[in-house]
Amino acid sequence: MTLDSGSANRINDPNHKLADPVDGSALIQVRWDESHLYFAFIVRDDRITVDSTDLWQDDSFELGLDGERDKNAFSGAGGDHQYTVRYDGRAADRGFAIENPDVRWAVRTNDHGYQIELVVPCSALGVTQLTSGQILGVDFAINDDDDGGNRDSQLVWASWSTYSDASAFGELVLR
């Protein structure tokens, strides 16, 4: 499987930089079969905080998907999703309850932070099946909150947001 952000290196952008890898970093693993995408997000975080109404204001992981790869602004159609899963197991799609019962997730702690597993059916992506060579739009973000209240920082992989504009997403090439 190939991940290609197609974007400039964002490490020097102070708005998308965490203090250090211990404070916030992630290993992302992706697998697929004809009917599902499987994501594992292994997040390293030295201080986990869950105290806000908005999931993205606390320690959480975001996954932006453009299933039809139409690169449009998010409209809620065309397989566009922004899944946010928080450390305590609460989850949302574009800020609202996840309506597709086939989208599943689990969260567990580890010695260095937490791990999130997320399963997304191809029906949620606006496609009938997944095939080798297929390209999906994708972006990932870590939200970090160390002191309560609003998040302190966010690290986004390919663009500036997993929410509003899929045109800047990277590509997930199924192999």
How would you classify the pairing of strands 36-44 and 60-66? unpaired
Confidence label for 93 from pLDDT (cuts 50, 70 and 90): very high
> What does pLDDT average to over the chain?
85
Closest C-alpha to 68, from 138, 147, 119, 164: 138
Q: Which of 21-35, 59-73, 100-114, 131-145 has the lowest mean pLDDT?
A: 21-35
How would you classify the pairing of strands 153-156 and 170-173? unpaired
Higher pLDDT, 119 or 159: 119
CA angle 75, 101, 33 (to 5 degrees): 85
Confidence label for 117 from pLDDT (cuts 50, 70 and 90): very high
CATH code reported for the domain at 2-173: 2.60.40.1190
pLDDT at res. 165: 83
Check pLDDT > 80 for residue 102. Answer: yes
Structure tokens at 113: 């932070």
Domain-wise residue ranges, the chain: 2-173
pLDDT digits (tens, 9 = 90+) for 126-160: 899 999 999 999 999 999 998 888 998 898 999 88
What SS3 class is residue 16?
Answer: helix
pLDDT at res. 20: 60
pLDDT digits (tens, 9 = 90+) for 1-29: 333 333 333 333 444 444 565 577 899 99
The burial of 96, by beta-carbon neighbours within 10 Å (0-12 exposed, 13-18 middle, 19 or more buried), is given as exposed
Check pLDDT > 70 for residue 32. Answer: yes
Check pLDDT > 60 for residue 163. Answer: yes
Closest C-alpha to 81, from 90, 157, 89, 68: 68
The proportion of the chain whose per-residue pLDDT surpasses 90, expressed as a percent, equals 58
